[in-house]
Structure 1
Amino acid sequence: MTSFEFPTGVLHLALGDIASWPARAVVNAANSRLAGGGGVDGAIHRAAGPRLPEACREIIAARGELKAGEAAITPGFDMSASFIIHAVGPIWHGGNSGEPEALARAYRSCFALCREHGIDTVAFPAISCGAYGYPVELAAPIALTELKRGVTQGDTREAWMVLYFPQAFETWLGMARQIL
């Protein structure tokens, strides 16, 4: 783990499993239907247990499918986290279809929910970097900038970027040392 301290809070980079991370909220890299899937999304759905799918269906029934850059919140159910913030990142189409803006909006939408619900610790995955194909070297600077903004604006006291693979952690850490 490596930490970057700011006057208003701390940003951590860590290697681990976000589905079991000890934060008040964990962010799920969700699809537009909040329907579960593979990777982080599947792991969080499995960890949260059988009540999560119904909560997600209720959100979709009330507001429709989420667009890239939007987020919704549910209880954490069987997870140690009190909340799950479901963020929809953009699918990578080469970078000329608004992907950078949508990715930044996804992180900002999560921080808006943190502010609204008084969430003081939140753990993020690398949104859109898995099945959605966003290149890590392009996503990391956007994500790190938004994570720093969320902490320095006081949206939360502590933000975590939790990476599952050691190589991903090293890549993000190298970029964080350049950006932060």
Structure 2
Amino acid sequence: MAITISRGDITRQQVEAIVNAANSSLLGGGGVDGAIHRAGGPAILEDCRRLRASHYGKGLPTGQAVATVAGRLDARWVTHTVGPVYSPTEDRSALLASCYRESLKVAGDLGADSIAFPAVSAGVYGWPADSAAEIAVTTVRETETTVEDIRFVLFNDEMYAAFERAMG
């Protein structure tokens, strides 16, 4: 398994699965979620609506993951995961780690050999960069998976530097 980091636009990655830092509604939002929905087009939203109508009527729970089609993206699938909102008074790191584990499981179950992750919860959900990076890298390294090519695609210099430190 190869783990790499890069600075860039996750929607332009040529991988089999792109991870979406989604909100629980699965119906689009801002940040990475909005970018993936815009770049992938309406097929992703249609698939998300089917999921809401069948298995996730109350939304996707925090820490879980589910896959949809990727629409116009170069990927085959989008793996949606809902990260926890950061709290300085409650340790939610197990939920954040679960996002990475569950996304790898979903991608592996689909037969994907490559996956691109954003920094889940590190945007509007307020997770501090160094902590988010440490949890992401440690979890991915410790998770058994058939996915061979694992990428962290970071949107800004601060997050890239945090992941660089976490990679050691």
TM-score (norm 2): 0.94
Q: Tell me, what secondary structure is at the counterpart of 1:128?
A: coil
Pair 1:146-2:139 in alignment: yes
Pair 1:33-2:22 in alignment: no
Pair 1:79-2:73 in alignment: yes
Q: Across the two proteins, how many residue pairs are aligned to each other? A: 166
1:153-175 alpha-carbon deviations (Å, 9 max, x no partner):
23310100000112221221022
**Against the structure 1 CA distance between its residues 167 and 93, is the aligned structure 2 distance closer, same or farther, given a 3 Å change threshold?**
closer
Q: For residues 88 and 116 of structure 1, what CA distance do their matches in structure 2 show?
A: 19
Root-mean-square deviation (Å) = 1.2
Shift of 1:99: 1.2
Shift of 1:95: 5.0
Query: Paired residue for 1:51?
Result: 43
1:24-45 alpha-carbon deviations (Å, 9 max, x no partner):
1100000001111111111000
Q: For residues 141 and 168 of structure 1, what CA distance do their matches in structure 2 show?
A: 11
1:91-150 alpha-carbon deviations (Å, 9 max, x no partner):
112251x41010011111101111211110000000000011111121111110112123
Letter in 1 for 2:34: G
Letter in 2 for 1:41: D
Q: For residues 127 and 76 of structure 2, what CA distance do their matches in structure 1 show?
A: 29
TM-score (norm 1): 0.88
Letter in 2 for 1:17: D
Letter in 2 for 1:165: N
Please, which runs of 5 or more residues in structure 1 have no aligned partner? 1-8
Pair 1:165-2:151 in alignment: no
